[in-house]
Structure 1
Amino acid sequence: MKKIIYFTTVLFISLTIFSCIDNDDDGLIPQVINEEEVISTVQITLTNTVDGEVIVLRSVDTDGEGGDEPVITVSDNLDANTNYTSRIQFLNETVSPAENITEEVEEEALEHQIIFTVQTSLDTNITYSNFDSNGNPLGTEIALVTGNPSAGNITVTLRHEPSKPNDGTLNGAGGETDAQVVFPVIIE
């Protein structure tokens, strides 16, 4: 009888100990493959190809959706009939030091595309300067050409897992929006 009690006690203790061991490698616990990043800041740096003047369009929203409105700044007006090169950055400035999300967007270029929507009242044209490994537009680098003096908005939308190739519009892109900012622009 003592052997049965001893065996039952050892079995119970063993089961208790081994049932508490964390074993995530068995495939039963789903693993997060690509955690969504926090994007608090979108910054476009435009450089005039003739005189090197730099204009910065910046949107900062450190409290996320539903809180205060983002702070949007445009450092200067754009010159009419001018070519600009541009670099777009996505940052998480809710942490210190700030995290550059652009690096991840470029590393996962097949899974991202930046869509630019230009209000019809704004006389400007945007073309992509960088592409994913399949030759489809990415958009962290663009060329922007201004026309006549005008004013309007440029909407910048970062899409995750868009349909590629697509027609370059939000309706045709598919996927989910990771970030979207509307910048007021004046060409003079």
Structure 2
Amino acid sequence: MKILFPIIIIAILFVISCDKNPVIQNEEELITEFKYTLVPRNGGSTSTFTFMDLDGEGGLPPDITSDTLMSGVVYDGKLSLLNVYSDVIQNITGEIKNEGDAHQFFYESSGELSDKLSVVYNDADINNNPIGIITVITTTGTGTGNLKITLRHEPNKSAVGVTSGIITNAGGETDIEVTFNVIVQ
């Protein structure tokens, strides 16, 4: 009995200490290629803004390519996000759309463009809240500035201003944040 009791205690401790790997639901996305394509509604040249960081976070700096927009034009915008870090190319755009209630893109213009470039959401999740993969951009004047696009993972979409595109109260974690230099002529 003296030998059996310690064996039972050790067996119980062993079973209790075994930690099963937790299943991570909706983990943050790894995005190595980010493209924002803007097509003018009434014809004209398509503008493309790209971010590429093929070695992932850290390492070499990303390659960011900006473009020019025309004043007084309405653009239909679409984001495309990929993970090409591994051997298998993953389409992150579809993943974000499928998990739309757990993601939202935020668009912030600054500099001379803060009041001359507006972005409106043109897609929604299952709760009719914006995702931001599909947008409409309107330019109302000339100038230079920045367009910062941020993807938040698990934002609080019921917080004040979040469904209107205001990131201040969104919370959540940032999956990616890219700032493009923009010239509106």
Identity percentage of aligned residues: 36
1:171 aligns with 2:162: no
How far, CA to CA, are the matches of 1:172 and 1:49 in structure 2?
32
* Residue 140 (structure 2) aligned to one of 142, 147, 156: 147
* Cα distance, 1:30–1:116 mapped onto 2, change above 3 Å: same
Uncovered stretches (5+) of structure 2, i.e. residues with no partner: 1-13
Mapped pair 1:79 → 2:76: no
Structure 1 residue runs without a partner (length 5+): 1-18, 20-26
- SS of the residue aligned with 1:104? helix
Q: TM-score, normalised by structure 1?
A: 0.80
Q: How does 1:19-168 map to 2 (within 5 A)?
A: 28-74=20-66, 76-122=67-113, 123-166=116-159, 167=161, 168=165
Residue identity matched to 1:174: G
Conservation of the 8 A alpha-carbon contact between 2:56 and 2:85: no
Partner of 2:6: none
The runs of at least 4 aligned residues of structure 1 exceeding 6 Å deviation read none
Which structure: larger Rg? 1
Count of aligned pairs between the two proteins: 167
Q: Name the Cα RMSD after superposition.
A: 2.4
Residues 111 and 144 in structure 2, CA contact (< 8 A), matched pair in contact too: no
Q: Which amino acid aligns with 1:80?
A: S
Distance 1:137 1:34 in 2: 18
Q: Is the 2:28–2:153 contact (alpha carbons within 8 Å) kept by the matching residues of 1?
A: no
How far the C-alpha of 1:151 sits from its partner, in A, is 0.7
Structure 1 residues 117-126 or 134-143, which shifts more?
Answer: 117-126
2:134 maps to amino acid: E
Local SS of the residue matching 1:170: coil
